[in-house]
Structure 1
C-alpha cells in the first residue's frame, strides 16, 4: 500500500476581506508571494521612517499579493485604520481593538482551498 502525503490538508481555512460591499478571498501565501513579500521587506529596510508615502505604497503592494481581487485604486480610497486592519487580518495578527469588524467567525467552515495558481505573475 502506498503512503500519500495530503498537501491539500495544509491549506488554511478560507478568509475574506469585505470592502465596499464586495468580498475578496485572501489567498494562502505561495512561494511567489513569499519571495515578493521578502523583496518588499528589504525595500523598507532602506527607507527613512518618515517616508510615509513609501511605507503606505509597500503596505498596499503587500496586501495586493494576498488579496489579488482588490485593486490599488480601491485601497487608495480607504482610511488608514482600514488599511492597517486589512494588513493585520492578512497576517493573522488583528489587534483586539479591530476584532469587532470580524463577521461570521462562528459560522465559518473550511471551503475549497484558494490558491495563488490563478494569480498573474507580474
Structure 2
C-alpha cells in the first residue's frame, strides 16, 4: 500500500525524527569505521608480524575480507545518514512553505470575511 503525502500529513510531519534516525545511522557508521580500524591496524598487523605459515595467511585473508565488509557498512550507513538528513531538510522547507501558504490563505479568508461583514453592515 502506497501512502500519499497530503498537506495535512506534511503539516503534522515530525522531520526531527528523520534527523534522529540519521544520527543513529551515523553512529552505526562510526562504529563500523572504528571496527575496521581495529581489524586492519591492530589485528591484521599483529598477526602478520607475529605469525607465519598457511594458517596465518588464511587468517589474514579473512581479516582483509572483514575489513572490506566493515568499510562497506561504514559507507552505506553514511549514505543512509546523508539521505535522511537531506530528506529532513527538504521536508522541513516544504513544511514551512505549506504553513506559510496556509497562514496566507487564512489571512485572505479572514480579510474577505471581514469585508463581507462590513459590506453587510453598511447595507451593501
Same fold (TM over 0.5): no
TM, length-normalised to structure 1: 0.26
Q: Which has the higher helix share?
A: 2
TM, length-normalised to structure 2: 0.26
Structure with bigger gyration radius: 2
Q: Which has the higher contact order (CA 8 A, sep 6+)?
A: 2
Q: Which has the higher strand share?
A: 1
